[in-house]
Structures are given as structure tokens and as C-alpha cells.
Structure 1
Amino acid sequence: MSGGAATPDELRRALDASAEAGRPLDFWWRDDDLQRPGAELEPLLALVGATGWVPGLAVVPEGMDADGLLARLAETGAELLVHGFAHRNHATAGAKKCEFPGTRSTDEMCRDAAQGLHRMNAAFGGSCLPCFVPPWNRIAPELIAELAACGFSALSAFGPRRTAEPAPGLKCVNTHIDLIDWRGTRRFVGIGAVRAAIIRHLAAVRAGGAEAEEPCGLLTHHLIMVEQDWHALGVLVAELAAHEGVRLFAPSDCFCS
């Protein structure tokens, strides 16, 4: 592996090593910031159709085109997650963007979270999982403690989880590999870099730096990625699916099992 990129052979050897060590090789896929159907969504749905891998689409409840999404997603099998409420920054000046920072009142945050879930349930019914995905992957501990009371049974942010149950009645399964280079090009990092990130994650699991039982989550952003990015991701998905020790989970496999 050189220059932060890995080859298919290097990925396969890393998967082999994890399988031989008896480590789970479970992967799941989340895509953020969905509000309405459009051209940017079509390559993602083409990948779903080609691979059968069911993604978790994190939908922003406020301003969503519920009818349009319902019509476009009806036959795809995609599962929907609640992406905050309005994807609006409430952080104080100079702080990192966050819709649900500790500087907001807990009652206000709970109101927004519950309203987001209510809107999603009303629009999509059983296609919506009661999983809260905080915008920018940041959330105040005060809200985590109240999410179950708001109607949620799951939470998904970014990075190795600290615990599988961060609050009573709340299961956490995060994403771990972001396919966008936010600090540099703000574009797709490339398939070699994604392979390398998976290899690093597997090494962290073996070293105890990440929980073995937590499925490895890939995080995509359909509004930023272009068609050739999705083709590259399709190659990676085929490499993962070809390994006998790998399981490609749907969100419901993660949160409802």
C-alpha cells in the first residue's frame, strides 16, 4: 500500500486476516442529506439495483419532497433514516457546525427530533427506521439521553462507537469511512483510498481500537458524488461481496436485530 491507496489484493489479504482471526466482516452503507429525488440520486439507485445492497438514506424532514421521494424509492428497497430536523446550524459562533449542540435547550432539541420522526413516519411508514442521524455527525449528550423518549430506538453518527447502547433503549451503529475528502478536494477520495481506510479499520478492530461487533459503515454523499464515483464504488462493493467472510448488511440488519 502506497500513497494512501490500496490494491484489491491488499484488501483481500486484510479481509482474509480478519476472517482467520474470527472477526466479523460486516459492512453497512449510509448516505446523507436527502431531501428530494433528482439527477444526483440516480447513480446511487443504479448501484442499489446492480448490487442489491440496501442503503440507509438519511432524509432531512423539514423541506423534504415526501411525495416525490415516496414515488421514486417505492421499488428500490431503500431504508430511510431521520437526518435531524432541518439540517440547520445552531452552534455558537466559532464552534463546529451542529444542529443539536449542548447550548440548545434539551426541550427544544427533543421537540425537533420528535417532530422529524413524526413527519418521516407519516410520509413513509415502515420504510422509515426510528434511527436518528445527527447532521454533521454531532449531537449533545443531553439529547442522546432523551432520544428513546422521543420515539427513537437507534442512533448513527461517525467513528467507532464508545458503547453499543449509549442510553437505555437506544442502539448505536456508526459509520466509519467517509468517501468525501472534506478537508481537501471536497470530492470522492478514490477507490484506492477507500480500500486503505477499510484496511486501517480492520487493523483497529484487531488492535482493540474499534469494536469488533459493530459493522463497518461506509458513508456516501449523493449530492457531491458524480457518476464515475459510483462506478468505482460498485467495483469495491463487488470486491467485498466476493469475499466469503463478508456480509453486506441493510440498516435494519444493524438496528432491528
Structure 2
Amino acid sequence: MKVDWSPLKHELGEWRAAGLTLPLWWRDDDAVAPTESLARLESLSATSGVPVHMAVIPRDATRSLADDLSDQFIPVVHGWAHVNNQTEGKKAEFGMGRDAHAARLDLQQSMARMRDLFGARLAPMFVPPWNRFDAALLPTLAEFGIDALSTYLPRQTATPIAGVTQINTHIDPIFWRGTRGLVPPDDLVAQTVALLQARRTGMQDNAEPLGYLTHHLVHDADIWEFSQQFMQEMCDGPVRLYRHDTKGFS
């Protein structure tokens, strides 16, 4: 696949000239068991040097996933069962209007299951399925020791509640509402450049790590190839890699 990366290279050059550094992180969703796709993701992560925050579905996660998940991955919590609890509107498991008691029980068992599987390896970040979350449940996250919430698009506030930081993703290569293949590469490059320009000019918060969001179980060849090139191009720029565990930035 031939991608015109020149607009991104130019923008990263502007960052160097300004003495700026871009915080970067990677999140992948929906893991429950070891698969060939997961092994391929691990290889891509190792080659690029960028660790993957693996959003694991607690209810369905297997012991073999916990046993086989290498240090290339940082396990985080992906809802409870990844089911839609909305009676109308857009899908969400922990969306607006859900019964607070039922949501609390799901969050409690999510953390219990993930701690049982991953122990001290677990990074206390919550990733709500479909990237939708009722802000009224934020105190419950903090109660259960979750210190970060990750959805999609630039965050509106760094700390939506005391003790919980918002760390979103911003670039998704999958054309979910169309072919479910790769978004046109030129569009992805333009989107990335626009995000970087907004940060460089102070219009968006550059303290928030820029997040690349993947779903290894549904990747086709083009998505794999674009992701490999994307990480290579980004890591050639003035970036520092973020990991939501004790290591922080590297």
C-alpha cells in the first residue's frame, strides 16, 4: 500500500521546529482469548516499539488470554459484557439512563474479574463499549479504584472528577459506517494532521496523549498495513510514548 505521508512529515517537522513533543498511545479493543490476530498485533507492537493498551471484555475473558498476554500489552477494562443496555438511541453498555444499581454491580464484577485475571499487571483504566459513558457513574469508577476513563475524540476536560483522568483515542482506521475496511488513507493522514495542528496551535490539549484505536479481531490486510506504516511515521517524529501503568511516559 502506497500512502502519501508527506503532509504528516511536514507537520511533524513543524513540531520539531517549535521544540514540541507529541504524547502518543495505542489502544486496541475487544480481546477475550488468544488468536492469530492478537499474535499479529503483538508482533506489530514489538516492531514499532509502541505498547498496546488491550481493552479486555471481563465477562468473556479466558484464563489463557491472561496467561499468554505478553508484556507488549497493558490490560485495561472494557466494560463488563460488551452488551447494549440502551432501549433506544445509540448503543452503550454504561450509557445515559441506565439503572445505577445494575451499572454499579457490573462495574464491581468487572474489576474483580480483571484483578483476578491480571493482578498487578492491570492498568486501572475503564474503556466503555462503544465509547459512551454516563458521567453520573464517574464516582463509581473512582470508588472501585479506576483512575482513568477512555472514550473517543479530544477530551473536554482532563479530570472529569477528582481521581479520574480522561485519556481518549482520536484516530480510528476502520470505516465502521461503510465498508468496515480501511478509511481512505489520505483522509486518515489529513485527520491526523488536523489534530496535530490543533494541538500545536493551542486549540486542543496536547497534555492528552494522542490515541490510535484499533480492533485486531476485524482487521483486513489494508488496516494492518496502514497501522504498521502509521506507527512508523509517528515514531519518526518528536513523540514520547505513553503507557497507563507505573512506567508512564517513555
Q: With the length of structure 1 as denominator, give the TM-score of the two structures.
A: 0.89
Distance 1:228 1:58, change over 3 A: same
The answer for the alignment partner of 1:69 in structure 2 is 65
Deviation of the 1:254 alpha carbon:
9.0
Taking the aligned partners of 1:33 and 1:208, their CA distance within structure 2 comes to 33
Is residue 249 of structure 1 aligned with residue 242 of structure 2? yes
Taking the aligned partners of 1:125 and 1:253, their CA distance within structure 2 comes to 14
The answer for the alignment partner of 1:20 in structure 2 is 17
Aligned residues: 249
Matched to 1:141, the amino acid is: A
Taking the aligned partners of 1:22 and 1:144, their CA distance within structure 2 comes to 36
Deviation of the 1:170 alpha carbon:
0.6
Question: Once superposed, which parts of structure 1, at least 4 consecutive aligned residues long, lie more than 4 Å away?
Answer: 253-257
Matched to 1:242, the amino acid is: D
Taking the aligned partners of 1:19 and 1:110, their CA distance within structure 2 comes to 46
The answer for the alignment partner of 1:178 in structure 2 is 172
The answer for the alignment partner of 1:143 in structure 2 is 137
The answer for the alignment partner of 1:7 in structure 2 is 4
SS at match of 2:192: helix
Deviation of the 1:175 alpha carbon:
0.3
Taking the aligned partners of 1:198 and 1:251, their CA distance within structure 2 comes to 22
The answer for the alignment partner of 2:49 in structure 1 is 52
The answer for the alignment partner of 1:124 in structure 2 is 118
Taking the aligned partners of 1:104 and 1:207, their CA distance within structure 2 comes to 39
Partner of residue 169 from structure 1, selected from 157, 163, 186: 163
The answer for the alignment partner of 2:93 in structure 1 is 99
Moved more, 195-204 or 151-160: 195-204
- Provide, for residues 162-204 of structure 1, a one-character-per-residue CA deviation record: whole Å limited to 9, x for no partner: 1111111111110011111112111122544332221011122
Deviation of the 1:255 alpha carbon:
6.7
8 Å Cα contact 1:90/1:101 also seen in 2: yes
Deviation of the 1:233 alpha carbon:
1.5
Distance 1:152 1:132, change over 3 A: same
Distance 1:70 1:8, change over 3 A: same
Taking the aligned partners of 1:188 and 1:250, their CA distance within structure 2 comes to 26
- Provide, for residues 187-226 of structure 1, a one-character-per-residue CA deviation record: whole Å limited to 9, x for no partner: 1225443322210111222454421211110000111103
Is residue 38 of structure 1 aligned with residue 38 of structure 2? no
Deviation of the 1:11 alpha carbon:
0.7
Taking the aligned partners of 2:198 and 2:217, their CA distance within structure 1 comes to 30
Deviation of the 1:235 alpha carbon:
1.8
SS at match of 2:245: helix
Moved more, 23-32 or 6-15: 6-15
| Structure 1 unaligned spans of 5+ | none
SS at match of 2:110: helix
| Structure 2 unaligned spans of 5+ | none
Deviation of the 1:48 alpha carbon:
1.6
The answer for the alignment partner of 1:88 in structure 2 is 83
- Provide, for residues 56-87 of structure 1, a one-character-per-residue CA deviation record: whole Å limited to 9, x for no partner: 0000001111x2112321x3431011000010
8 Å Cα contact 2:241/2:249 also seen in 1: no
8 Å Cα contact 1:53/1:248 also seen in 2: yes
Distance 1:90 1:56, change over 3 A: same
Partner of residue 205 from structure 1, selected from 199, 206, 221: 199
8 Å Cα contact 2:155/2:168 also seen in 1: yes
8 Å Cα contact 1:187/1:225 also seen in 2: yes
8 Å Cα contact 2:174/2:223 also seen in 1: no
8 Å Cα contact 2:125/2:149 also seen in 1: yes
Q: With the length of structure 2 as denominator, give the TM-score of the two structures.
A: 0.91
SS at match of 1:178: coil
SS at match of 1:175: coil
Matched to 1:48, the amino acid is: S
Is residue 112 of structure 1 aligned with residue 109 of structure 2? no
